[in-house]
Amino acid sequence: MSEPSEVNDARRLQLISAAQRQWVDALTDLGGRNTLLYYKDRRAGTLDLASADPDVLERFEKTGRARLTKLFTDADERADAIRRMQTIYRKSRELTEERGIRAGYLATGLARWDELFLEPAAPVLLRGLTITPTRARYDDFDLTLEDDVEVNPVLLHKLASVFGAVVDKPAPDLIAGQLAKAAANAEVPGFTIEKRKVIGTFTYAKLPMVRDLEAAGDLLADSDLVAAIAGDPVAQQLVSAAPDADEPPRTDDPEDDYSVLDADSSQRSAIETVLAGRSLVIHGPPGTGKSQTIANLIAAMVARGRKVLFVAEKRAAIDAVLSRLVGVGLGELVLDIHEGTRDRQRIAAGLGATLDLAEHATAPDTTALHRRLTDRQQRLRRHAAALHRVHEPW
């Protein structure tokens, strides 16, 4: 007969495994809206380089730099290219600023195969592209290619997961042959690669999360928080945010309070819950002080020697918290890596400046400040008690 602990462990693993599959399925976008699998030529937002000057295009790919108007000799084609690039530039900038996603790419080769109801056209090679307007009128652009060439990871994932066509160690200079061989072995229907070069916006921000989830089975199984999210009642009890009966009462001692912004009772309760090591979810409409609470929480955690990773889908949420920390003189606490490795110089400079500041920082004398805060707290408590007595029913 199985021991209760063994039954619980088996149920926990089963729940986590099921949740892992659901999360992977939810993140994996292999549908027709994914432009990395189903590219379409559009009237704006894509630019086909078939009519570009061959010599200028070759130099562009070798040197990584070109002026858009130099790529097209025909006046009508040049005007059409400018119009298209304006749309690509606006979309690329929007994705970068709002979500930190690099989206502008030069795509080389389009892989096609037979599929019911859909017409696959997946870019094979991707090369990051920076688009810079030369004038405020956006009537010409400087194009700068990254040095690295990447095989489309979504194409590889689609072929492997749907058809079993796996490419071991894909190499950009050999990928056409590697894909053709893998597709032939897996009998992918109608697989071909068109020799085309196009510029457009392509995103695959969620694929790295899919890969992490697929490879993190043991790590997920060891996490009580993940098990609780997956529905395990034992783990849910362990990470519950309900207060413990033996928990000491909250102290208002200024020595323990690192709030840098105003906080009401509900916001303080959320901060204290996290500081106590418990997990929680905070819901609230705009204007209810979520970014203020996060800023207070970051300050409190850092003051206790902890590290905090703050992640947001959109840049605006990061800026809201960062601006609050900057406003109270704590901007140096934050290492802003929203742009990732694409802005290494700025990240390195910011880190260096913060380390230099830390070397020369001295401990502040907070005695007078704490004495003043304690006095204010006592006066507020007396005021609240007096109001309570006045409004007590007879």
- The C-alpha angle 51, 176, 143, rounded to 5 degrees, equals 40
The answer to whether residues 320 and 254 belong to one domain is: yes
Q: Is residue 392 part of a domain?
A: no
Of the pLDDT bands very low, low, confident and very high (cuts 50, 70, 90), residue 248 is very low
The answer to whether residues 256 and 140 belong to one domain is: no
| Residue/partner pairs of 51-59 with CB below 8 Å, 24 or more apart | 51/77, 52/197, 57/197
DSSP string, 347-361: HHHHHHHHHHHHHH-
Candidates 35, 48, 17; CA nearest to 120 is 35
Q: Is residue 386 part of a domain?
A: no
Provide, rounded to the nearest whole percent, the portion of the chain with pLDDT above 70.
Answer: 92
The answer to whether residues 181 and 64 belong to one domain is: yes
Q: Give the type of residue at 334.
A: V
Q: Quote the CA–CA distance of 258 and 369 in Å, as a whole number.
A: 12
The answer to whether residues 326 and 307 belong to one domain is: yes
The answer to whether residues 113 and 221 belong to one domain is: no
The DSSP bridge partners found for residue 129 are 145
Q: Quote the CA–CA distance of 113 and 177 in Å, as a whole number.
A: 15
Q: Quote the CA–CA distance of 44 and 231 in Å, as a whole number.
A: 46
- Cα torsion 227, 232, 235, 237 to 10°: value is 140
Q: Quote the CA–CA distance of 316 and 347 in Å, as a whole number.
A: 19
Domain that holds residue 139: 29-205
The answer to whether residues 103 and 146 belong to one domain is: yes
Q: Are strands 192-201 and 104-112 parallel, antiparallel or unpaired?
A: antiparallel
The answer to whether residues 63 and 16 belong to one domain is: no
Mention every residue, 6+ apart, whose C-beta is less than 8 A from residue 167: 151, 156, 159, 160, 175, 178, 179, 182
Q: Quote the CA–CA distance of 200 and 84 in Å, as a whole number.
A: 9
Provide, rounded to the nearest whole percent, the portion of the chain with pLDDT above 90.
Answer: 42
Q: Is the pLDDT of residue 188 over 60?
A: yes
pLDDT tens string 40-69? 999 889 999 999 999 999 999 999 999 999
Helices and strands (H, E) in the chain, number of each type = 15, 7
The answer to whether residues 327 and 352 belong to one domain is: yes
The DSSP bridge partners found for residue 67 are 142
Evaluate whether 170 touches 183 at the Cβ level (below 8 Å): no
Candidates 327, 282, 274; CA nearest to 302 is 274
Evaluate whether 205 touches 29 at the Cβ level (below 8 Å): no
Q: Is residue 192 part of a domain?
A: yes
Residue 196: Cβ within 10 Å count: 17
The answer to whether residues 42 and 189 belong to one domain is: yes
3-state SS class at 129: strand
Where residue 164 falls (left for φ over 0; alpha for ψ -120 to 50; beta otherwise) is left
Q: Is residue 387 part of a domain?
A: no
pLDDT tens string 302-319? 988 899 999 887 888 888
Q: Is residue 388 part of a domain?
A: no
Q: Is residue 349 part of a domain?
A: yes
User: Which of 54-68, 225-239, 255-269 comes out lowest in average pLDDT?
Assistant: 255-269
The answer to whether residues 294 and 284 belong to one domain is: yes
Average pLDDT, the chain: 86
The answer to whether residues 197 and 65 belong to one domain is: yes
Evaluate whether 188 touches 159 at the Cβ level (below 8 Å): yes
Q: Is residue 378 part of a domain?
A: no
Model confidence, pTM: 0.68
Q: Tell me phi and psi for residue 380, to 5 degrees.
A: -65, -40
Q: Quote the CA–CA distance of 22 and 11 in Å, as a whole number.
A: 17
Q: Is the pLDDT of residue 205 over 80?
A: no
Candidates 134, 119, 374, 136; CA nearest to 257 is 374
The answer to whether residues 264 and 223 belong to one domain is: no
Q: Is the pLDDT of residue 120 over 70?
A: yes
Mention every residue, 6+ apart, whose C-beta is less than 8 A from residue 259: 268, 271, 296, 299, 300
Q: Quote the CA–CA distance of 107 and 155 in Å, as a whole number.
A: 13
pLDDT tens string 127-153? 999 999 998 889 999 999 999 999 998
Of the pLDDT bands very low, low, confident and very high (cuts 50, 70, 90), residue 243 is low
Q: Is residue 350 part of a domain?
A: yes
Domains contained in the chain, number: 3
